Amino acid sequence: MAACVLALRVAGGQGAPAPAASGPGLDELKKQYEAIFTDLQIQDRDSAKILKQRYLAGLAALEESLQAAGSKLSAVLVVHGEKERFEQSGTIPDSALAAELPALRKLQETWLAQTDAWPREQAQRWVAASERYLQCLAQLQKNLAARNDTNGVEAVKASKERLLNNKMTHQALELVQKTKPEPPAGGAPAVTDPTAPVGPAATIVEVGAYKFYPPGKEPPLKNLQPWRMDFPSADRRAAQFFYDVRISLVTDKSAWAGAPRITVAAKNRDIPAGSTLVLEYFSRFGTRTTNVYLEKTEPIILPKIARGQSYIVDGQGVSAGYYYHYGLIASIFDEGGKLLFQQCGPSPLNTKCTDRRPE
């Protein structure tokens, strides 16, 4: 029987190394499997940044070409304004789509298509790698059973159970199964999917003391800088298939309080009304990161955010006082207290992350 190899490395298109004639053991299969998903996670972490840079580069090139051609000032201002708007929000709502500038509209539609397709493509890669891993485990188990290696068989079964119970595997499969193939040419017309994305939110919504703005309609803020957030564990990274939270902080010294501007997006699953975005602010004494403590917890009750929609909301932040802003944890809990999404920044805060909603 041919040796089973997880030749599915995605970074640089490299495959796994050739196994010995008897085939790889369980430890080698695990290493290959983990390497595949490390590559996938790196790709996903970098993809949003790459797509944003590509879109901004396209806008800059278009602006320069319009200037060089001596085009109308109004066209140059439209492109320049779109560049400034996108740098702040990182999204393209319907209200920002260009109606009278085809070159700009083409750039926008390309970005929308790429960002919509990426989660599904990543989920497909995840499922394909998992299926191949299961196949290799089945072959290894058969070989071990033929040699009466009882302990080896049990170890393989345990690895299989861990994969089948992995949250990211389940959510990736769910996303892939939701992706419908294109209808055949000349076939019956497609039936509208009632759960399909409905487009960015169109109106400002108020819930309690907070206002939720559709991207592009939020009030301007100066000196906003993106705050790097990451998932506290590989298991919670699975939520990236369904939701997204992006945070920027005001860094002007005259108003420095770590006040965040948050973009909450429902990528491939609704965020139910009554869910809560919980922000946990951490400060530190002086410059020593060991003296980190929880400064404040800010719960923000969310409106319903339908699949494909996003809102921008401003948090209250904390007063800097005599201490230094260190970072924060952002979590979304549904009305029943179930954790839907969680990220933290900087990454050492992952030790303070929990799936229980703070009081």
Report pLDDT digits (tens) over 151-190.
Answer: 999 999 998 898 888 887 888 888 777 754 444 444 333 3
Mean pLDDT of the chain: 79
Confidence band of 200 (pLDDT split at 50, 70, 90) = very low
Strand partners, 296: 281
Residue 278: per-residue pLDDT: 96
Q: What is the mean pLDDT of residues 126-140?
A: 86
Residue with tokens 């999204």, as numbered in its chain? 91
Who wins on pLDDT, 212 or 289? 212
Residue 287: per-residue pLDDT: 58
> Is 253's pLDDT higher than 60?
no
Confidence band of 202 (pLDDT split at 50, 70, 90) = low
Identify each DSSP E strand in the chain by its residue range: 205-207, 210-212, 224-226, 243-250, 260-266, 276-284, 292-301, 310-314, 324-333, 339-345
19-28, 156-165, 234-243, 288-297: range with highest mean pLDDT = 156-165
In angstroms, the CA 7 to CA 133 distance is 10
Confidence band of 71 (pLDDT split at 50, 70, 90) = low
In angstroms, the CA 343 to CA 246 distance is 10
State how far the alpha carbon of 27 is from the alpha carbons of 140, 149, 152, in Å: 11, 15, 11
> Is 324's pLDDT higher than 70?
no
What does the pLDDT look like over 264-275, one tens digit per residue? Answer: 999 878 999 999
> Is 276's pLDDT higher than 90?
yes
- Chain centroid, CA 77 distance in Å: 32
pTM to 2 decimals? Answer: 0.53
CB 345 within 8 A of CB 260: no
Q: What is the mean pLDDT of residues 203-227?
A: 87
Q: What is the mean pLDDT of residues 343-354?
A: 91
What does the pLDDT look like over 35-52, one tens digit per residue? Answer: 877 777 777 667 777 888
What tokens does 276 get? 């809560």
